[in-house]
Amino acid sequence: MALKGCLTVASDKSITHRAIIFSSLAKGTTNIYHPLLGADCLSTLAIFENFGIHSQIKDDCLTITSPGLDAFEVQSSILDAKNSGTTARLLMGVFSYLNEPVTLIGDESLSKRPMGRVMTPLTQMGARIELQDGATLPAQISPSQLSGIDYELPVASAQVKSAMMLAGMLAKGRTTIYEPVPTRDHTEKMFEDFSIQYQKVNRVITIEGPQLPQTPKEVFVPGDISSAAFFIVAALIVPGSHVTIKNVGVNETRSGIIDVIRSMGGKITLLNERYFGGEPVADLDVAYTKDLVATTVEGEMIPRLIDEIPILALLATRASGTTIIKDAEELKVKETNRIDVTVEQLKAIGADIQATEDGMMITGHPEGVFYEANVSSHKDHRIAMMLCVASLLLEKPLLIEDIESMDVSYPDFLKHLQALLEN
């Protein structure tokens, strides 16, 4: 059954997280239009409500009224990030600025994910953070005076960069951050929106602190390209499909999936390119493509599509030749080890795929047949949505466990998918 029609996908999770953070730190009222109100972003919001900010949701607008960071009062010392790695990592430095000690916790999955890469530079800045023996949550964070440092990121990580930028904003003196390769720059754009002064030359970011954000009154969140990727791939691989996805963020640091699809011969066109709330957006016109070809995804491309690799692996199963994905070790510390889980689940339905140390190899069979199997998302939202798209290629139902994990980033995913199928 082909997918037809237009849709607007879930709003950008990364930008919504940052909009909530900056709006909460800034004194006054900020309206966030078209936010993603999935489980992860609501975890961020709940933590700030614990500090005394007030929020209201009405007509696709999240209004945050804050007393400002300097007036925060800690109502509970236990701060629960639940499943949100972005919440935990970005806010560690901010919590150091509080006047009371707090304990940052997470759910079972998040408590297994490494936090040491964030703690290391923050500790050098003067933060007092104690993690568990495995450098995992819970984290005990005590009040401290942060000071600026020079720091070269050992791996490309937008979360570590953003954590340091937030800490550098609050720290005394100059913080200089060196990125090995470019990563998503939503924090930099949010600095500009909230009047935080900084400099960025090539991959070197310099911040003079301390500074406090000033509300711009309004923030606009575009559609999430990571969420759009599932519908893009579905349209490319399901015969007869033709879909237009409206108002998708195409920030160059996030749009690697579009470049890779073009290199594979996929029919994707950007229409009505424009700016929306300071971010580049476009409407994506995508059509079924019979003659996809394999490609290699590596190096500086990886940070530009790190969250899209599971669905990209599915796309590669329909391309002639062998697609190689490498330099993607970061996938091992996501909600799951996404290298192993992606390979295991696709192999279970008949894909010719194998894991490597830093990625995977997929030999495509354009006319190959997937077969019925019991598969699981392993409580990873992106694996769950990838498997839903894979199910469109089966004649019999695919039984997917832990499908509710999609609520993390796209609560309406199944409803939107069904609407395109009904068209």
Q: Which residues are catalytic?
A: 307
Whether 65 and 28 have beta carbons less than 8 Å apart is answered as yes
Whether 223 and 10 have beta carbons less than 8 Å apart is answered as yes
Dist CA 278 CA 281 (whole Å): 9
Dist CA 391 CA 303 (whole Å): 27
Whether 45 and 258 have beta carbons less than 8 Å apart is answered as no
Whether 328 and 300 have beta carbons less than 8 Å apart is answered as no
At 341, the amino acid letter reads: V
Q: Is the dihedral of CA 393, 397, 401, 406 positive or negative?
A: positive
CA angle 369, 372, 374 (to 5 degrees): 135
Other beta carbons within 10 angstroms of residue 347's beta carbon come to: 15
Question: E strand or H helix at 315, and its extent?
Answer: helix 309-316
Phi-psi region of 287 (alpha: psi -120 to 50; beta: other; left: phi over 0): beta
Dist CA 409 CA 186 (whole Å): 17
For 130, 206, 268, 336, 366, the CA distances from 236, given in Å and listed in that order, are 47, 42, 9, 26, 12
